[in-house]
Amino acid sequence: MIIAIDGPAASGKGTIARRLAAHLALPHLDTGLIYRATARTVLDNGDRLDDPDRAVAAARGLALTEYDEDRLRGAEMGEAASVVAALPPVREALIDLQKTFAARPGGAVLDGRDIGTVICPEADVKIFVTARPEVRAQRRALELHGRGEKVDYDVVLADIRKRDERDSGRSAAPLRMAPDAVLLDTSDLDVEAAFAAALAIVERAK
């Protein structure tokens, strides 16, 4: 069973994907990490994030195990990832890796922005997870605070809005709900309730 989970930043899609994968004993790929690692490599090489040739070279050479996941999860790398992710040749270079993961025998859970629309249009279950921007900003601020980063709620909210705009407005694989996806708004749900709602969607599709 292939489960595709998409949605904007801090919607809860990562937590839902992780919990579903653990519950169903399926492998999980957080595809945002791939774009974050690509951006990290570009910056470590001293290159520009909007230089398609350098970004594609970084994407092609990616070995995810080389990265400290925690270091990739900061706010700065989320922003940098959305810059390289807007470059069509970068997305192209990362398709095979994601499709190969999805094709594992037994299935997989993938989360990102274009899983249900581009990477796994044939997924058995598609969930589009969203939440109001203010709620997402609050969650993200809490998470960053927990990571020891300095946070200002207004800045976090502005960043979230900017990232939404860039991810939805780009021409290459923009953030969109697939027509056959189920919408899950987590604005007024805690983690347990959001997970239960997602699991119910999966069970219905079985």
Q: Work out the end-to-end distance of the chain between its first and last CA atoms, rounded to an integer number of angstroms.
A: 9
Q: How far apart are CA 176 and CA 114, in angstroms?
A: 7
Assess 85 for contact with ligand C5P (CB under 6 A). yes
Binding of residue 28 to ligand C5P (CB under 6 A): no
Task: Please state whether beta strands 125-130 and 108-112 pair in parallel, antiparallel, or not at all (unpaired).
Answer: unpaired
Residue from 15, 82, 117, 186 that binds ligand C5P (CB under 6 A)? 82
Alpha-carbon span 68 to 72, nearest angstrom:
7
31 binds ligand C5P (CB under 6 A): yes
Q: How far is the CB of 174 from ligand C5P (least distance, A)?
A: 9
Element of type H or E holding 125: strand 125-130
DSSP 85-109: TT-HHHHHHHHHHHHHHHTSTT-EE
**Given 35, 101, 128, 195, the residue binding ligand C5P (CB under 6 A):** 35
Question: Is 7 a residue that touches ligand C5P (CB under 6 A)?
Answer: no
* Contacting residue, 117, 163, 181, 184, with ligand C5P by CB under 6 A: 163
Pick between residue 36 and residue 54 the one whose CB is nearest to ligand C5P.
36
DSSP category for residue 66: G
Identify the three-state secondary structure at position 4: strand
Q: Measured from the CB atom, is 107 or 112 closer to ligand C5P?
A: 112
Question: How far apart are alpha carbons 194 and 179 in whole angstroms?
Answer: 21
Strand partners, 3: 109, 125
From the list 16-24, 77-85, 145-153, 196-204, the region that binds ligand C5P by CB under 6 A is 77-85
Chain position carrying tokens 């270079």: 93
Question: Does the footprint of ligand C5P cover residue 139 (CB under 6 A)?
Answer: no
Residues 86-125, mask of contacts with ligand C5P (x by CB under 6 A): --------------------------xxx-----------
Q: Site size for ligand C5P, by CB under 6 A?
A: 14
What is the 8-class DSSP label of residue 120?
-
Among the listed ranges 40-48, 60-68, 78-86, 145-153, the one in contact with ligand C5P (CB under 6 A) is: 78-86
Q: Which residues bind ligand C5P (CB under 6 A)?
A: 9, 31-32, 35-36, 78, 81-82, 85, 112-114, 163, 167
